[in-house]
């Protein structure tokens, strides 16, 4: 009995799962159908058929044409042919002349290309349909009227597409132009039995002392770093810190003055916030790099 109930419960769960999947599929299909890509085609076809018939009814003083599903379907197909062709042109330009190469140039070329395509494709479509289906042709005034209505409407919808593209491009530009924020590296140091985590900005200078690396912080504390100066230098931004010799790494902000010394060396006086000063010697081999580092400020 219990086994039978379990089987029924499992079947109910599977049925519910299938039902949820079917609902999700229907929702996805509806979202795609009502997206701008497809809804714009349907809307354009309906508007074109309605407006053109309205103008022709007014011109010939005839009663409104009765609703015809066939006419609207044909108008939607024609709208798809014209609008999707304009979108193909936009897609081709994305690969050959992206918006990043210049908005004005791309906008001008895209607008001209789409306008010429709409005019050419529309008249080919009108002439072809009237000859094939109706064995005749539109009168010149009617053809001009249809051209004005259709070209204006399709070009307007194409420009809506263009505006959406420009919005996406500008949004992408804003995102990519924002400075990349990189998480600052941290340094684990000790003071007695306590371990502290400090940031590079907290370091005043570091040096060898009694076989250990001592970090002098901006607060004046002496903290022990259990790695080498080389490892520490890799954690510090090179724009702010310089290893002046085998014994010392200093921060740019603590340099008080410097002068040339014997044999191409440089004598540097550094001091912290507690007005403690220290005179250090930069070797001849590092003197040139030190001057370039300072000049890069």
What's the distance, CA 213 to chain centroid?
44
Cα–Cα distance list, 166 to 85, 117, 118 (Å): 19, 21, 21
Alpha-helix runs per DSSP H in 60-139: 69-96, 103-134
Strand ordering across the sheet containing 187-191? 194-198, 187-191, 222-225, 212-217, 203-209, 248-251, 241-243
Residues 22-81 pLDDT 10s: 555 555 555 555 678 888 888 888 888 888 888 777 777 777 666 678 778 888 888 888
Residue 106 near residue 98 (C-beta atoms within 8 A): yes
Average pLDDT value over all residues in the chain: 79
The encoded tokens of residue 191 equal 């003071």
Distances (CA, A) of 282 to 19, 224, 227, 238, 278: 77, 24, 23, 17, 13
Name the token pair of 148: 């004005």
Helix spans in 178-263 (H):
229-235
Q: According to the model, what pLDDT value does residue 5 have?
A: 46
Query: What is the token pair recorded at 52?
Result: 């053109």
Cβ within 8 Å of residue 145, ≥6 positions away: 52, 55, 56, 59
The sheet with strand 266-271 has its strands ordered as: 255-260, 266-271, 277-282
The CA-atom distances, in angstroms, between 171 and each of 165, 175, 178, 199 are 10, 6, 11, 34
Q: 103: closest CA among 56, 146, 153, 165?
A: 165
- Sketch out the chain's domains with CATH numbers: 25-177 (no CATH), 187-295 (2.40.50.1020)
C-alpha span between 278 and 138 (Å, rounded): 96
**Would you place residue 267 in the very low, low, confident or very high pLDDT band (cuts 50, 70, 90)?**
very high
Report the first-to-last Cα separation within the chain, whole angstroms.
83
Local structure of residue 271 (DSSP, 8 states): E
Nearest Cα residue to 109 out of 96, 124, 119, 122: 96
Q: Is the pTM of this model over 0.85?
A: no
Structure tokens at 237: 């931004």
Q: And the tokens for 65?
A: 């044409």
Burial of 285 (0-12, 13-18, 19+ CB in 10 A): exposed
Q: What is the pLDDT of residues 133-183, one digit of tens each?
A: 656 666 777 778 888 888 888 889 889 988 888 887 776 655 444 443 344
E-state strands within 3-62 = none
Residues 228-266: pLDDT tens digits? Answer: 898 899 889 888 999 998 899 999 888 888 898 888 899
What is the C-alpha R_g of the chain? Answer: 38
Contact between 53 and 64 under an 8 Å Cβ cutoff? The reply is yes
């Amino acid at each position: 009995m219990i086994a039978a109930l379990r089987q029924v419960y499992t079947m109910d769960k599977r049925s519910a799962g299938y039902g949820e999947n079917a609902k999700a599929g229907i929702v996805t299909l509806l979202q795609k159908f009502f997206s701008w890509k497809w809804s714009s085609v349907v809307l354009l076809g309906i508007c074109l058929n309605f407006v053109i018939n309205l103008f022709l009814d007014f011109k010939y003083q005839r009663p409104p044409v009765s609703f015809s599903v066939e006419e609207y379907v044909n108008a939607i197909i024609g709208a798809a042919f014209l609008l999707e062709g304009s979108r193909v042109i936009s897609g081709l330009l994305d690969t050959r002349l992206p918006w990043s190469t210049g908005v004005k140039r791309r906008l001008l070329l895209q607008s001209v290309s789409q306008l010429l395509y709409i005019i050419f494709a529309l008249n080919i479509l009108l002439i072809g349909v009237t000859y094939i289906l109706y064995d005749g042709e539109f009168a010149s005034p009617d053809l001009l009227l249809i051209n004005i209505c259709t070209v204006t409407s399709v070009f307007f919808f194409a420009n809506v597409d263009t505006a959406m593209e420009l919005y996406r491009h500008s949004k992408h530009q804003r995102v990519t132009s924002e400075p990349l924020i990189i998480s600052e590296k941290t340094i684990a140091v000790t003071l007695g039995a306590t371990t502290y985590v400090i940031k590079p900005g907290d370091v005043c200078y570091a040096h060898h002392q009694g076989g250990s690396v001592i970090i002098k912080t901006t607060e004046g504390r002496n903290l022990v770093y259990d790695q080498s100066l080389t490892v520490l230098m890799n954690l510090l931004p090179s724009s702010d810190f310089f290893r002046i010799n085998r014994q010392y790494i200093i921060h740019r902000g603590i340099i008080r003055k410097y002068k040339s010394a014997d044999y191409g060396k440089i004598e540097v006086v550094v001091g912290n916030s507690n007005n403690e000063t220290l005179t250090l010697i930069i070797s001849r081999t590092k003197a040139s790099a030190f001057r370039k580092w300072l000049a890069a400020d």
